Amino acid sequence: MFDYNKFFKESPLDIHNQPERHDKIASLCKGSVIDIGCGTGSLTEYYKGEYIGYDISSVAITKAREHRRKDARFFAGDFLKLAGFDFGSYSTIVMAEFLEHVIDDDVIIESIKKTASYGTRIIISVPNYKKIPSPDHVRIFTVSKLINKFSELGKITFYNWGGENERIIMTVDFKVPQKKIITLGIIAKDEEKGIEHAILSALEVVDDVIILVDNKTKDATEKIARRYTKNVFLYNWTGDFSAARNELLSKVETPWILFIDGHEYLDWSTGLEDLNESKNDALMCEIRLESKAIVRYPRLHKSKLRYKDAVHNRLTCNNLGNFNNILLVHDRVHGQSSKSVAEREKQRDKMVIGIMGKQLKKNKKNTRAALHLGLHYQARKKRKLAIKNYKLYLRYSNFPGERWYVRFNLAMCYFADKKNVKAEYQTVLMEKESPGRWETNYMRGVYLMNQKKESEAILYFVKSLEVVEQESAYKPIVRDFSIVWNNIGECYFRLQNYYEAGEGFKRGSEHAKDDKFKNLLKRRSQLMFKMAKN
């Protein structure tokens, strides 16, 4: 048996103190707390309520009594020998970094079942799988194992606290029913690099996880997924994204589902617990791409709905709404290996060009095919083909917001080909499609600036600074006031209006978030003011 007295005798008082983890656990505590396996009582530095700590090491308990707050009580003893312990007077039972040290915890679990009150909170913290190896660890836990072990006790919640990749923090609210509202759905192939982050990012806000793994996957995607859910299914890919999504949906038992890719993650969300009150069957969620552009897709919807179309699948729904309380991040760089990215790109080339190319050839009024072909060719830097498809789209489409987005991309294609006049003309048409958007004014300013029409460019840059709230499915560029003011300063500098240039650079520095850029703008501002005096 591991010698805990020797360990604590040779270790400093705060050997197990981890501020971020302890702070999270303390925030989950309520009322009177009993801390099983308390060590030297580090939790008392964070939780100031009524506290009792138990540990098998008399050395650890002696240190705790000598150094922790005096109103905390500490007891030495083997808690596993306290059969029939009465938990009735405790609001919170903490077992933090304890369960992995014992082979059998049945004595504790049975006592909780017999004596704990309704709503008693059990807080558990354990290493996530084999992430923190130690000679005194005798058990390995995964999210999947923890759910299987503790779901009979009550409502389980997992928490994102910053170190969830290495240590799992969860609570069980005793006898409180588990309200199953939302399932996390992931369809994956060769996603071992990102799938764990994808799951962990959403684990706190979902009630179930279902993962469909392509049976041709060659990496550890399936193995990693099984650590987090028993609902991992192998799927025979048929070249149809809708078929895959519908297969996963057939296994969902909650009323709502959140779809994310294995190389995406949930950055933040609020209000998901109120989904059942929504009047919509599907909700458009914001997705931030690698380019920082934001697009909207109905990733959050009722599980009864189904998809159609093999590529760039569409959700069949007539009751669609916007949901501004969520942000997903598309992150191939950190979420997929270079080999997986290359294979996915080959697949997309084949499917988008093959399937949608045939659709467009069959029906030139198929605006959906024209749009996605344009986007696909633009991403591959085949701008002539992109422009051809965008123009075809504009000939037959009547959706203003989407038409604005296509004209934006047309302008970008022309700009990349150094056709500034054509690019600027598209911004004129963008304003007609969707009046008042800051992006239109900003882009027009950029194109005028490139044509050396600085006075006109300044007018549009200033217009782009106006804050206009506008709902849109497409936000292709990130708003950065520091860059706009830098451009204004640059225009004034070219016009030899040095004082105004200095003011522009100064305002830019006030908005800059990057320290290097902030300092650069400050130096530019100082130089301009100096030149203005001479």
Span 143-171, pLDDT tens digits: 999 999 999 999 999 999 999 999 999 99
Band the pLDDT of 345: cuts 50, 70, 90. confident
Residue 333 pLDDT greater than 90, yes or no: no
At residue 534, the pLDDT reads: 82
At residue 348, the pLDDT reads: 83
At residue 343, the pLDDT reads: 86
Question: What is the number of alpha carbons within 13 Å of residue 111 lying toward its C-beta?
Answer: 18
What is this structure's pTM?
0.88
Band the pLDDT of 496: cuts 50, 70, 90. very high
Q: What is the pLDDT of residues 298-310, one digit of tens each?
A: 999 999 999 999 9
At residue 165, the pLDDT reads: 95
At residue 101, the pLDDT reads: 97
Residue 471 pLDDT greater than 80, yes or no: no
- Percent of the chain, pLDDT > 70? 99
Q: All domains of the chain, ordered by start, with CATH?
A: 4-174 (3.40.50.150), 182-330 (3.90.550.10)
C-beta of residue 506 within 8 angstroms of C-beta of residue 526: no
Band the pLDDT of 349: cuts 50, 70, 90. confident
Residue 468 pLDDT greater than 80, yes or no: no
The average pLDDT across 33-48 equals: 98
Residue 469 pLDDT greater than 80, yes or no: no
Q: What is the pLDDT of residues 191-235, one digit of tens each?
A: 999 999 999 999 999 999 999 999 999 999 999 999 999 999 999
Q: What is the pLDDT of residues 418-432, one digit of tens each?
A: 998 999 999 999 999
Residue 42 pLDDT greater than 80, yes or no: yes
- Enumerate residues 6+ apart whose C-beta is below 8 A from 192: 219, 220, 221, 224, 337
At residue 8, the pLDDT reads: 96
Cα–Cα distance, 230 to 212 (Å, whole number): 11
Compute the chain's Rg from CA coordinates.
Answer: 29
Tokens found for residue 465:
């600074």
Q: Give the mean pLDDT of the chain.
A: 95
Using CA of residue 474, residue 476, residue 482, residue 486, what is the dihedral sign? negative
The conformation of residue 135, written as its DSSP 8-state character, comes to T
Q: What is the pLDDT of residues 65-120, one digit of tens each?
A: 999 999 999 999 999 999 999 999 999 999 999 999 999 999 999 999 999 999 99
Residue 501 pLDDT greater than 80, yes or no: yes
Cα–Cα distance, 217 to 194 (Å, whole number): 14
At residue 291, the pLDDT reads: 86
- Enumerate residues 6+ apart whose C-beta is below 8 A from 106: none
Cα–Cα distance, 170 to 199 (Å, whole number): 15
Burial classification of residue 390, based on how many CB atoms lie within 10 Å of its CB (0-12 exposed, 13-18 middle, 19 or more buried): buried
Burial classification of residue 289, based on how many CB atoms lie within 10 Å of its CB (0-12 exposed, 13-18 middle, 19 or more buried): middle
Q: What is the pLDDT of residues 365-414, one digit of tens each?
A: 999 999 999 999 999 999 999 999 999 999 999 998 899 999 999 999 99
415-454 exposure pattern, b = at least 16 Cβ within 10 A, e = fewer: beeebbebbbbbbeebbebbeebbbbbbbbbbbbbeeebb
The residue ranking higher by pLDDT, 144 or 311, is: 144
At residue 245, the pLDDT reads: 97
At residue 473, the pLDDT reads: 82
Cα–Cα distance, 322 to 299 (Å, whole number): 11
Residue 471 backbone phi and psi in degrees, to 5: -75, 135
The CA-CA-CA angle for residues 425, 431, 432, to 5°, reads 95
At residue 339, the pLDDT reads: 86
The residue ranking higher by pLDDT, 337 or 88, is: 88
